[in-house]
Chain A
């Protein structure tokens, strides 16, 4: 009898633990899945839109919409940048910091994203790498990475306008941190370069030759 009671208590504790863990695991797996899925839905919304108008909502209850497309390298699929760098928007895609210059403007455009989903690729960027940003109205601009660095989160001056056509990408640092919310940010600083033609980069070989390969 005693063994039975003991086993029962252990079993219920183990069940509760397993259930809680399963929920945590599901939530944990859902975050990247959501991030990926949302980008697909947003891509569809973008393609349905007509140039010059703002794209339709990617899903009916969405409180944000895409404002630009961002290529972290010429040969990869673009990221769809959402309006307003709120936690909600950033779950679905990199988000444009609304106080900074609007995409397409010849000023400092700031985009923030999660280090472990959309902006995981920032860690691979190096000085000289080409980036491309296409605004919803069709204006595109090519950028070259001029530097990367780690700063404290208080460096809000990086969000200010500078009067030059620049692109600032921000994500959390360190990249492999398990617990989110650290005070450090990884910043990629890029400056506009003469654009060799405005058409968005497709995966065709002709365009990718312009960007230096690593």
Chain B
């Protein structure tokens, strides 16, 4: 027995010696040498402008490819877990309102796992099951047509996981210019209503209310300015419009544009340190005379033929005689408009006021938590009245909530005026969570008014802007920076003054054709008619008809040809989903609509309100008995927003609030593993050159080994002498 006694000592030394080798092997990659004095709740350090800070938790990479009128965008989110715990990450992020999300891949190290669309509750179940079994999993859900959540389960200490989602959309076309908007941030939204019990069921800062039952899911924590968190975004785009371009530009970010072969352009952001704090807008203008007047794309899927049709109605001369009108201007002065936005909004209102003539009538409404009308009722736009209104608007400050509903209803009430034209110009960033209630109000109260939304700020809610204008039979305008106020407002009033094409119909000459949207919104000067349809194979002609300025307009097009384009079927399905969602507001039951939407989502592999993308790793990697902590990845505040105005002082739902979030529910019983993910690639896609040597490791190992060895030799020598002397 005594003979083996020295071995434990040796083993102890050896194991101490080997510790630095074994520990990092469990968390491959990072040698976490940290200075605890510098660290907050964990996280490795990087250099920022003001010294060392916590490293980014998330990196976003956006690649947009435009072919013809259709854009396909890949968004890669790279999550790094800087903590010592196994965590679940939840990230709320925006996408364009028309985005048809169809692909999810999860990359863990060198393995790539493809996700697939399942009915929402089932996808959630699949995800929760994988989570409880210690597998890595990711889930992409739709919260609003333009707000999505990514959840990732079982991200180990120091691990990095990459999620790539892809979607299609069609480019917007207006007045000779194509544009795409990539929203980089979900602005904090105003959540009206009464809090309901147990309302913090997501991880956001909002509590669920009777009006916004999912508030906790759409209100990510916001990083406080100076928190030092960085959320770098890289963005690349390629435009292959199919015709020569006159210009490629962005009003939101400085670009670097490089012409490649033919008419293909490669675009990058000029600033390598771009942050996700404002929407990215890309615009391209066809060379003079090269803009298409009609375009048709088609795709065959499982025997069905799908088509996307864009038609630009011929221009008409603007009538010289201008009818007198009643104009109601509504300005949002809520806290979300503070900073640069309110300045732009005031300028936009001044522009609107300047178009008034003495024969018009007008009023101005200002709203935040409450609303205020300049005049009790609309009054003639005399120079004095307009000057007074301008002064009043200039004095407005942004503060308080976005209680839009009463202001909207008041603006749509006709009052005593009986002029032929009644227009409501609504200047806002749409930072609201009760969109559906507002759309319902617009539909009920619209009457003969027309609603024109003007989106202000670095991250307007595009879903609200476009849909409100559609229900309001108006049009929407984005103003992204101060320089755009004058030209964009001028363009809006030019549109308003031109005769509008209404009562639009698209006749495919075949009753079996299913065309969406089923009710085509009014089309203003310079805007195209865009419809998606499922056709029989041999569709020949389509007739677009409507009325404009009291005259019939009729366009006949040959649809036998058209360019093949992947993704057209999904754009059709996306429009059908939008139509079905609208039918909810027309009184259809949620049960019927959700079943139909979910089936459409699964069939076309599309993320909808009732179908989600889920990917699950085959092999469990997380220890099942270890608690998983749920962490929210904070969003950045949109540029120009004032943190203190939104959340007041420092008590706000700062990123740190995520620490107070409850532990993830791990109650699910572990069952037999069902792997729905499949391994589709294992090849390394390429990587940057390595830049580290094992010198430190070898020196550490060598020096401590020598120390231990020397000690042991000394010990052995003494033992030997002791033994000999006995």
Residues of A within 8 A of B (CB): 1-11, 13-15, 17-29, 31-32, 35, 85, 87, 90-91, 95, 97, 112-117, 119, 123, 126-127, 146-159, 162-164, 170-174, 176-186, 189
Complex CA gap A95/B712 in Å reads 43
Within 8 Å by CB of A21, from B61, B78, B691, B701, lies: B701
Note all chain A residues with C-beta closer than 8 A to B692: 114-116, 171-172, 177, 180-182
- Which residue on A lies nearest to B236, using beta carbons? A157
Q: Is B483 an interface residue (CB 8 A)?
A: no
Within 8 Å by CB of B686, from A3, A11, A156, lies: A156
| CB proximity to A under 8 Å, residues B640-697 | 685-697
Q: Add 4 more A-B contacts to A4-B723, A180-B692 (CB < 8 A).
A: A14-B708, A87-B690, A153-B687, A162-B258
Within 8 Å by CB of A3, from B24, B702, B726, lies: B726
A174 adjacent to B719 (CB under 8 Å): no
Tally B residues with Cβ within 8 Å of A. Answer: 72
Complex CA gap A7/B713 in Å reads 9
CB distance from B6 to the nearest CB of A (A): 5
Complex CA gap A172/B56 in Å reads 16
Complex CA gap A174/B39 in Å reads 15
B46 adjacent to A149 (CB under 8 Å): yes
Note all chain A residues with C-beta closer than 8 A to B689: 85, 90, 95, 97, 112, 170
Supply 9 A–B pairs (Cβ within 8 Å), ascending by A.
Answer: A28-B697, A90-B690, A117-B693, A150-B46, A154-B162, A171-B692, A174-B31, A178-B696, A185-B691
Complex CA gap A184/B32 in Å reads 12
- Which residue on B lies nearest to A2, using beta carbons? B3
B691 adjacent to A170 (CB under 8 Å): yes
Complex CA gap A45/B24 in Å reads 41
Note all chain A residues with C-beta closer than 8 A to B690: 87, 90, 112, 153, 172, 180-181
B706 adjacent to A22 (CB under 8 Å): yes
Note all chain A residues with C-beta closer than 8 A to B715: 10, 14
A25 adjacent to B703 (CB under 8 Å): yes
Interface flags for B407-441 (1: CB within 8 Å of A; 0: not) read 00000000000000000000000000000000000
Note all chain A residues with C-beta closer than 8 A to B686: 154, 156
Note all chain B residues with C-beta closer than 8 A to A119: 691
Complex CA gap A23/B689 in Å reads 28
A178 adjacent to B24 (CB under 8 Å): yes
| CB proximity to A under 8 Å, residues B201-258 | 230, 232, 234, 236, 256, 258
B10 adjacent to A147 (CB under 8 Å): no
Q: Given contacts A87-B690, A153-B688, are A174 and B44 in contact (CB under 8 A)?
A: yes
Note all chain A residues with C-beta closer than 8 A to B588: none
B30 adjacent to A177 (CB under 8 Å): yes
B726 adjacent to A18 (CB under 8 Å): no
Note all chain A residues with C-beta closer than 8 A to B723: 1-4, 6-7
Note all chain A residues with C-beta closer than 8 A to B162: 152, 154
B20 adjacent to A32 (CB under 8 Å): no
Interface flags for B1-25 (1: CB within 8 Å of A; 0: not) read 0110010001000100000110010
Closest 10 CB pairs of A and B: A25-B702, A21-B705, A28-B698, A18-B709, A3-B723, A177-B31, A14-B712, A180-B692, A28-B699, A171-B691
A31 adjacent to B698 (CB under 8 Å): yes
Note all chain A residues with C-beta closer than 8 A to B695: 28-29, 31-32, 116-117
Q: Which of B47, B162, B704, B722 has the most CB of A within 10 A?
A: B47
Q: Is B562 an interface residue (CB 8 A)?
A: no
- Which residue on B lies nearest to A148, using beta carbons? B47
Q: Count A/B pairs, Cβ under 8 Å.
A: 234
Q: Is B619 an interface residue (CB 8 A)?
A: no
Residues of B within 8 A of A (CB): 2-3, 6, 10, 14, 20-21, 24, 29-33, 44-47, 49, 55-56, 59, 61, 78, 109, 160, 162, 230, 232, 234, 236, 256, 258, 268, 272-273, 685-706, 708-713, 715-717, 719-720, 722-724, 726
Q: Given contacts A17-B709, A163-B258, are A31 and B693 in contact (CB under 8 A)?
A: yes
- Which residue on B lies nearest to A112, using beta carbons? B689
Note all chain B residues with C-beta closer than 8 A to A21: 701-706, 708-709
B713 adjacent to A11 (CB under 8 Å): yes
- Which residue on A lies nearest to B712, using beta carbons? A14
- Which residue on A lies nearest to B695, using beta carbons? A31
Complex CA gap A195/B704 in Å reads 50
Note all chain B residues with C-beta closer than 8 A to A115: 691-692
Q: Given contacts A127-B49, A149-B232, A162-B256, are A90 and B694 in contact (CB under 8 A)?
A: no
CB distance from A192 to the nearest CB of B (A): 14
Q: Given contacts A149-B46, A185-B688, are A28 and B705 in contact (CB under 8 A)?
A: no
Note all chain B residues with C-beta closer than 8 A to A19: 709
Note all chain A residues with C-beta closer than 8 A to B32: 174, 177
- Which residue on A lies nearest to B158, using beta carbons? A182
Note all chain B residues with C-beta closer than 8 A to A8: 716, 720
Q: Given contacts A149-B232, A149-B273, A172-B692, are A13 and B10 in contact (CB under 8 A)?
A: yes
B272 adjacent to A189 (CB under 8 Å): yes
Note all chain B residues with C-beta closer than 8 A to A15: 709, 713
- Which residue on A lies nearest to B721, using beta carbons? A7
Complex CA gap A116/B59 in Å reads 25
CB distance from A143 to the nearest CB of B (A): 13
Note all chain B residues with C-beta closer than 8 A to A186: 691
A18 adjacent to B706 (CB under 8 Å): yes
B691 adjacent to A91 (CB under 8 Å): no
- Which residue on A lies nearest to B232, using beta carbons? A149
Note all chain B residues with C-beta closer than 8 A to A170: 688-689, 691
Note all chain B residues with C-beta closer than 8 A to A189: 272
Q: Given contacts A11-B713, A127-B49, are A177 and B698 in contact (CB under 8 A)?
A: no
CB distance from B183 to the nearest CB of A (A): 22
Complex CA gap A29/B697 in Å reads 10
CB distance from A134 to the nearest CB of B (A): 22
CB distance from A101 to the nearest CB of B (A): 14
- Which residue on A lies nearest to B698, using beta carbons? A28
Complex CA gap A171/B705 in Å reads 29
CB distance from B696 to the nearest CB of A (A): 5
Note all chain A residues with C-beta closer than 8 A to B33: 174, 176-178
Complex CA gap A97/B697 in Å reads 26
Complex CA gap A189/B29 in Å reads 24
CB distance from B233 to the nearest CB of A (A): 11
- Which residue on A lies nearest to B685, using beta carbons? A154
Note all chain B residues with C-beta closer than 8 A to A116: 692-693, 695-696
CB distance from A111 to the nearest CB of B (A): 9
CB distance from B7 to the nearest CB of A (A): 9
- Which residue on A lies nearest to B23, using beta carbons? A179
A146 adjacent to B703 (CB under 8 Å): no
Q: Given contacts A24-B701, A25-B702, A153-B687, are A14 and B709 in contact (CB under 8 A)?
A: yes
Note all chain B residues with C-beta closer than 8 A to A147: 272-273
Q: Given contacts A21-B706, A177-B33, A184-B30, are A6 and B698 in contact (CB under 8 A)?
A: no
- Which residue on B lies nearest to A3, using beta carbons? B723
B29 adjacent to A183 (CB under 8 Å): yes
B31 adjacent to A20 (CB under 8 Å): no
B702 adjacent to A24 (CB under 8 Å): yes
- Which residue on A lies nearest to B704, using beta carbons? A21
Note all chain B residues with C-beta closer than 8 A to A91: 693
Note all chain B residues with C-beta closer than 8 A to A163: 256, 258
- Which residue on B lies nearest to A127, using beta carbons? B49
Q: Which of B24, B162, B236 has the most CB of A within 10 A?
A: B24
Within 8 Å by CB of B59, from A112, A152, A173, lies: A152
